Structure 1
Amino acid sequence: MELSKLIANCNVISIKGDEKTDVSAITSDSRQVKPGSLFVAVEGICTDGHSYIGKAIEEGASVIVYDKPLIDEFFSRVTYIQVENSAIALAMIASQWYGNPSAHLKLVGVTGTNGKTTVATLLYEMFRRQGYASGLLSTVCNYVNGEKFPTTHTTLDPVTLNRFLRMMVDAGCEYAFMEVSSHAIHQKRVYGLKFAGGIFTNLTQDHLDYHKNMQEYRDVKKSFFDDLPSDAFALTNIDDKNGLFMIQNTQAKKYTYSLKNMADFKARIFEKHFEGTDIEINGKPLTVRFVGLFNVYNLLAVYGASILLGLNEEDVLRTLTVVKPVAGRFQTIRSPKGFTAIIDYAHTPDALINVLNAIHDVLEKKGNIITVVGCGGNRDKTKRPIMAREAYRLSNKVIFTSDNPRFEEPQDILNDMLAGLSEDERRDVLTIADRREAIKTACALAKPGDVVLIAGKGHEDYQEIRGVKHHFDDKEEVEKLFFGN
């Protein structure tokens, strides 16, 4: 593609070289450069792409896009494009390269601390079940209609993201649903995409290893709604204290959902059990296969978005009665010994509280809760003592263990968690760094009628230790203990 077309929507400061040159590939990763590539130098969290401009040119890059002053010499065979913001330029170039695919889809973004995966995945399933070709970009997996692709990030980089959207358009998809993380919004990974709608789930503490404070985290989320066009919808949870704040400056059409207040989409809960929940949505009764207040909010968001996208209400309600929880989200496994194990991705204080409260609601003090929980390494350390305290408060027995320690020592993470408890409380807690042993111990302690909650990793099938991913799946470990193999 001709360079001038690729940069047509970029805020260009200067051009040195031939803007009519033909570009054979685009990338922001110098390792993927091949002859004729356009390389965008973006400053990241750990590395700065400007440091790799020389390597990109050595590998044959014919165009360099950058936003910082260059001190190296300019090569006559290379065209240099200085832009105002490289991250934004990358997003715009990626969209242009793939023919602006988001403009040919009804693309819906889901943002918030918890519930993104469930809402986006259930919307994908909803539309597929109604006969619409659809795509999904999520933490668990990416789908182009029925074709499955593994995932690495909650929200992909702009080039991969637009490539997937183009694949969806080419596969005949009419709808696409995606999780939109605060990192992605802040790093301009979704910049320039045309969204048909945005959904806000909730906001609680997370990612303070990345954002300076909760206000910045909140404001970044809000900016997603600020950028929605006037022909889009903005659907928000008004039971969350930030729900109305998110949509106060959006140009999109505003809609609300709630269990406690007057709203466009309203639900009530009647009966809770481990197989599901009896609820009512906008006056229509139904039984769903999901457990917990937080899941009713998720289903309500799915219902609201489905209606706003034009689906028939009766078809939506019927589908909500048959869809199942997403992998690793309140996934129940019944032990032959009469207790229940629950695998859940809860890795924030609020998510952990939600899951434990949901278990309490169903148990009604007729059994004990044994919780196995850890915290990830090289992530927000401030939430470790909070998660430990809430796990202790809402469980009958707690085992602290390893999650993904990454480049931290597991014992250091456990010590941070233990700091949230008093000396007396620490005596009641078991700390077993080996996650397999921790799960085994919890199941050995459980009696008929009890619940073993294994929190933090959910769908993940690995444990990341010192940069290496080792195969480890909480669900597999439980099934081995219960059924052998």
Structure 2
Amino acid sequence: MKVLKDILYKVTLNAVVGSTSVELSTIEFDSRKIIKGSLFVAIRGSITDGHEYIDKAIKNGATSVVCEAIPEKLVDSITYIEVDNTSKALAVMASNYYENPSENLRLVGVTGTNGKTTVTSLLYQLFKKAGYKVGLLSTVKIMVDETEYKATHTTPDSLTINKYLREMNDEGVEFCFMEVSSHGIHQYRTEGLHFEGGIFTNLTHDHLDYHSTFAEYRDVKKKFFDELPSNAFALSNVDDKNGLVMLQNTRAKKYTYALKQYADYKTQILENQFGGLLLKVNDSEVWTRLIGNFNAYNVLAIYATAELLGLERVEILRLISDLESVSGRFQYVVSSDKITAIVDYAHTPDALKNVLETINSIRTKNEELITVVGCGGDRDKTKRPKMGHIATALSTKVIFTNDNPRTENPDQILKEIESGVEPQNFKKALTIADRKQAIKAACQMAQPNDIILIAGKGHEAYQEINGERFDFDDLKIVKELLKQLQK
């Protein structure tokens, strides 16, 4: 059992009612999970306010409460703690509860609009191949060395993060690579964690449904670097116009990487084809099975990080050449009649542009490039016309379809995507709301040597419609359809 006063170490308290010497069974921010002896933390969320569930938590067995305003009506024998921000306090308490596990491993956080999953997943792969025990906290999955857990958020809540980090400690994990989202930073989910390094990939149009302006989105990302300790490293992509901004106020040791300008780590693309990339990283050549300019940045970030963490240059290059592509990131299959189908998670304008430009830089232009794309519901609406514009400008044919409509009207989402199509590209586009039928239509349109891009969902094995999730895997479906159409 843990004692409340120990869990409150480094938490700034405004007021205390009751004893802090009480023992705790668990910490919870969901009143439904409370058991006898739990500490309940009342979080003000975007949909519900945990302060409204304090009474319910106490009825369910909570013996102490952390809140931003102590209730007027107090219950005898209950300890109440008032703080300025319960989300921030929860993260610090979670670290204390699990005995500050981030201090017992080498934790590296990766933030940016695109590339977080690829960089963290490939770093996990590389260090595993180098013989280390490694942890991963990503959008796709959570890995405690060899044990896999399902991921539900890009950056999990602070209790979940520390729970898995504790498991990593118990398994002897030495390195952990973690996606750090803007939501996670803004909601203090990473507060109290000890990072040995931070990586900035890029910053493009996304999440403006959550962050009111692009400047706010940028500044939230910057906060992660501002809070890195002086013995950490901060590695930033300076080809991105916000790359140097991220480094402005950090106490960490600063390092840069780039393809287009001077940097500590620089790469040049020597060959770019569907089989992979030949790169010149600083003064050494390396072949990778990863594809496209955007992956040249990812490989460079991985190389730099591995070197900063102490791996030998020759060993890093050898391991990079052995890395496999990440689930849902430029995964492709080639049918027996030489139709190439690519599945990619590209769900932002910049990511879609990068993927399409990569395909166009490789293809001969004698074949069609057929793009199937949609946009998620209940998310940033302002990017929808941009996605429509980019898809039709850079493809020979486009089919707009459902992504994850969630609780929104799918037809309205499609109309907003279509509004970005310029008149000269009207004839390129058609709309088929049913995603499977849209993929089928693309397969039927395709001739030998043509390329189909299915964008937006990548690794996701479901489609969310009206709050319900249905099994749906783009890669699996396109494989089946191409096979059926060959008969």
- What is the aligned partner in structure 2 of residue 290 from structure 1? 290
- Determine if contact 1:136/1:144 at 8 Å carries over to the other structure: yes
Mean CA deviation greater in 363-372 or 201-210: 363-372
Tell me, what secondary structure is at the counterpart of 2:23?
coil
After the TM superposition, which residues 218-233 of structure 1 pair with which residues of structure 2 at under 5 Å, given as runs?
A: 218-233=218-233
Match of 2:442 in 1: 442
Q: Which runs of 5+ in 1 are unaligned?
A: none
Report deviation, 1:68.
2.7
> How many angstroms does 1:428 deviate by?
3.3
Consecutive unaligned residues of structure 2, counting only runs of 5 or more, are: none
CA distance in 1, matches of 2:424, 2:369: 20
Which secondary structure does the structure 1 equivalent of 2:405 belong to?
coil
Once the two structures are TM-superposed, the CA of residue 174 in structure 1 deviates from its matched residue by 0.6
Deviation at 1:55, TM superposition (A): 1.0
Q: Output aligned runs, 1:66-81, within 5 Å.
A: 66-71=67-72, 73-81=73-81
Equivalences for residues 6-405 of structure 1 within 5 A: 6-71=7-72, 73-405=73-405
Secondary structure of the corresponding residue to residue 453 of structure 1: strand
Q: What is the DSSP-based 3-state SS (H/G/I as helix, E as strand, rest coil) of the residue aligned with 1:463?
A: strand
Tell me the CA shift for residue 368 of structure 1. Answer: 1.4
| Deviation, structure 1 residue 69 | 4.6
Asked if structure 2 preserves the Cα contact closer than 8 Å seen for 1:30 and 1:55, the reply is: yes
TM-aligned CA distance change 1:424 to 1:307, over 3 Å = closer
The answer as to whether partners of 2:70 and 2:81 remain within 8 angstroms in 1 is no
* TM-score, structure 1 normalization: 0.98
Give the whole-Å Cα distance in 1 for the aligned partners of 2:255 and 2:170. 31
Distance (whole Å) between structure 2 residues aligned to residue 425 and residue 350 of structure 1 = 19
Q: Out of 373-382 and 330-339, give the one that drifted further.
A: 330-339
8 A contact 1:418–1:426 mirrored in 2? no
**How much does 1:483 deviate?**
2.9
- Supply the distance in 2 between the matched residues of 1:424 and 1:453 (Cα, whole angstroms): 21
Question: Residue deviations 1:301-323, cap 9 Å, x none?
Answer: 00000000000111110011110
Deviations 1:413-451 (A, max 9, x none): 001111112456434311000000000000111111211
Distance 1:413 1:355 in 2: 22
Q: Is the 8 A contact 1:25 1:38 kept in 2?
A: yes
SS in 1 for 2:207: coil
Check the 8 A contact 1:265/1:300 in 2, yes or no. Answer: yes
Which amino acid is the alignment partner of residue 440 of structure 1?
K
Q: After TM superposition, give the deviation of residue 336 of structure 1 in Å.
A: 1.5
Normalization by structure 2: what TM-score?
A: 0.98
Give CA deviations for 1:5-63 in whole Å, capped at 9, x if unaligned: 01121111111111100011001111111110001001111111111111111101001
The aligned amino acid for 2:440 is K
Q: Do 1:239 and 1:260's aligned partners in 2 also have CA atoms closer than 8 Å?
A: yes
Tell me the alpha carbon deviations over residues 81-136 of structure 1, each in whole angstroms, 9 at most, x when there is no partner.
00121011100110000000000010000000000000001111111111111100
The range that moved more, 422-431 or 188-197, is 422-431
Asked if 2 retains the 8 angstrom alpha-carbon contact of 1:236 and 1:257, the reply is yes
> Matched residues in 2 for 1:426 and 1:259: separation?
35
Task: Give the deviation of 1:275 after TM superposition.
Answer: 1.1
Separation in 2, partners of 1:90, 1:250: 24
Given that 2:396 and 2:428 are in contact with CA atoms closer than 8 Å, whether structure 1 keeps it comes out as no
In 1: Cα distance, 2:92 partner to 2:273 partner:
48
Q: What is the rounded CA distance, in whole Å, between the counterparts of 1:70 and 1:382 in structure 2?
A: 40
Letter in 1 for 2:480: K
Residues 188 and 395 of structure 1: is their aligned pair in 2 closer, same or farther, counting only changes over 3 Å?
same
SS of 1:12's equivalent in the other structure is coil
Corresponding residue SS for 2:14: strand
The amino acid that maps onto 1:436 is K
Moved more, 135-144 or 279-288: 279-288
- Count, aligned residues: 484
| Offset at residue 283 of structure 1 (A) | 1.2
Residue 482 of structure 1, CA deviation:
2.4
How far apart are the structure 2 equivalents of 1:243 and 1:107? 21
Distance 2:415 2:482 in 1: 31
- One-letter amino acid matched to 2:216: E
Sequence identity (%): 53
Task: Write the distance in 1 (CA, Å) between the matches of 2:49 and 2:31.
Answer: 11
| Native 8 Å contact 1:90 1:158 kept in 2 | yes
